[in-house]
């Protein structure tokens, strides 16, 4: 195990930010800490980094007891949402910084910086100033800088949080590929479930200072251990008293065995999907959401006012 967190508690005054957190993070894995704002993700990351002290409990990094080690002795690299670059230094100098203060030989620094800039696809920007980069390029520079010291652990706190949706998406795909190349143990804080599902090997869902569930993206999505995890990992709707995903409901245009009768009240096309609001034709006349593909909508000629029959497809 790369990071072992045992019995970590943290309060801010009366407020319990972390409540007896136990977590093992395997070496070489990309782990997402996912949860709603204020749930304690950043606090946990900062405790791993050594930027914050736990009130009790321990942190072991690569077999070394790190609980009382200062941040600079933990061999961790970090990147935050708003990255503080050295504004007057070139991109290459920013990346070299950690190596230069460690007094590495000049030739080694030069070689390493070139390699890192290649890795983050910024070779042609080596001589620019950080202000001459886009937001996404700046965060890639931040990653190169964090990786320069060859950290045993890379800690990322909402690294793409300040970027627009399109750049975020590009960078998360890029981060996944980068991780597949360098395999450095990485812990990534996000409140964006799609980001976690797309990027992480394993997701730790944190809410109100506690771990709700740990598992692979598929496990969390398909077998959430409670309603909180289920709702947090994607849209849900209530059907027959159970939470189901809107696209895990099959829609028929004719009566079927165990089909729940309903009527389409509204529909909205969102890209490939069509969202249907359907009114259940039982005593309560509850309205629920069902998502079908555009192809299904077309082949069944689903339209507002039509009667349909619903069958939940998930277990």
Ligand X SMILES: Nc1ncnc2c1ncn2[C@@H]1O[C@H](COP(=O)(O)OP(=O)(O)OP(=O)(O)O)[C@@H](O)[C@H]1O
Q: Which residues bind ligand X (CB under 6 A)?
A: 12, 15, 17, 35, 37-43, 191
Instruction: Report the nearest approach of ligand X to the CB of residue 11 (Å).
Output: 9
Instruction: Report the nearest approach of ligand X to the CB of residue 34 (Å).
Output: 9
Q: Taking the CB of residue 8, how many other CB atoms lie within 10 A of it?
A: 24
- What is the CB-side half-sphere exposure of residue 261 using CA atoms within 13 A? 7
Nearer residue to ligand X within complex by CB, 122 or 214: 214
Instruction: Report the nearest approach of ligand X to the CB of residue 146 (Å).
Output: 19
Is the Cβ–Cβ distance between 35 and 228 less than 8 Å? no
Is the Cβ–Cβ distance between 115 and 182 less than 8 Å? no
Compute CA distances 264 → 249, 272, 292, whole Å: 14, 19, 12
Nearer residue to ligand X within complex by CB, 65 or 194: 194
What is the distance of C-alpha 178 from the center of its chain? 16
Q: Which of 185, 193, 116 is nearest to 148 (CA)?
A: 116
* Secondary structure letter of residue 73 according to DSSP: G
Instruction: Report the nearest approach of ligand X to the CB of residue 159 (Å).
Output: 13
Instruction: Report the nearest approach of ligand X to the CB of residue 307 (Å).
Output: 44
Instruction: Report the nearest approach of ligand X to the CB of residue 235 (Å).
Output: 20
Nearer residue to ligand X within complex by CB, 12 or 252: 12
Dist. CA 39–CA 53, nearest whole Å: 17
Residues 6+ away with beta carbon under 8 Å from 199:
30, 32, 172, 175, 176, 188
């Amino acid at each position: 195990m790369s990071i072992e967190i045992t019995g970590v508690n943290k309060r801010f005054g009366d407020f319990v930010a972390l409540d007896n957190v136990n977590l093992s993070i395997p070496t070489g894995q990309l782990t997402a800490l996912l949860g709603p704002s204020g749930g304690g993700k950043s606090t946990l990351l900062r405790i791993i980094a050594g930027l914050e002290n736990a009130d009790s409990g321990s942190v072991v990094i690569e077999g070394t007891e790190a609980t009382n080690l200062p941040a600079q002795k933990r061999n961790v690299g970090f990147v935050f949402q708003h990255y503080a670059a050295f504004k007057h230094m070139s991109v290459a100098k920013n990346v070299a910084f950690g190596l230069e203060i460690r007094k590495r030989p000049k030739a080694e620094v030069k070689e390493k910086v070139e390699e890192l800039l290649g890795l983050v696809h910024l070779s042609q920007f080596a001589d620019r100033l950080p202000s001459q980069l886009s937001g996404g390029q700046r965060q890639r520079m931040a990653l190169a800088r964090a990786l320069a010291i060859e950290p045993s652990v890379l800690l990322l706190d909402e690294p793409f949080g300040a970027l627009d949706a399109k750049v975020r998406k590009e960078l998360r795909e890029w981060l996944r590929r980068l991780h597949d190349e360098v395999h450095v143990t990485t812990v990534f804080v996000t409140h964006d479930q799609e980001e976690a599902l797309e990027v992480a090997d394993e997701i730790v869902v944190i809410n109100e200072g506690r771990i709700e569930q740990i598992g692979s993206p598929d496990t969390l999505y398909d077998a959430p251990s409670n309603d909180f995890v289920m709702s947090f990992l994607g849209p849900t709707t209530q059907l027959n008293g159970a939470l189901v995903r809107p696209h895990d409901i099959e829609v028929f245009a004719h009566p079927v065995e165990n089909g729940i009768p309903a009527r389409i009240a509204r529909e909205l096309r969102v890209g490939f999907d069509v969202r249907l609001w359907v009114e259940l034709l039982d005593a309560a006349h509850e309205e629920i959401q069902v998502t079908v593909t555009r192809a299904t909508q077309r082949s069944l000629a689903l339209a507002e006012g039509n009667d349909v029959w619903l069958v939940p497809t998930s277990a």
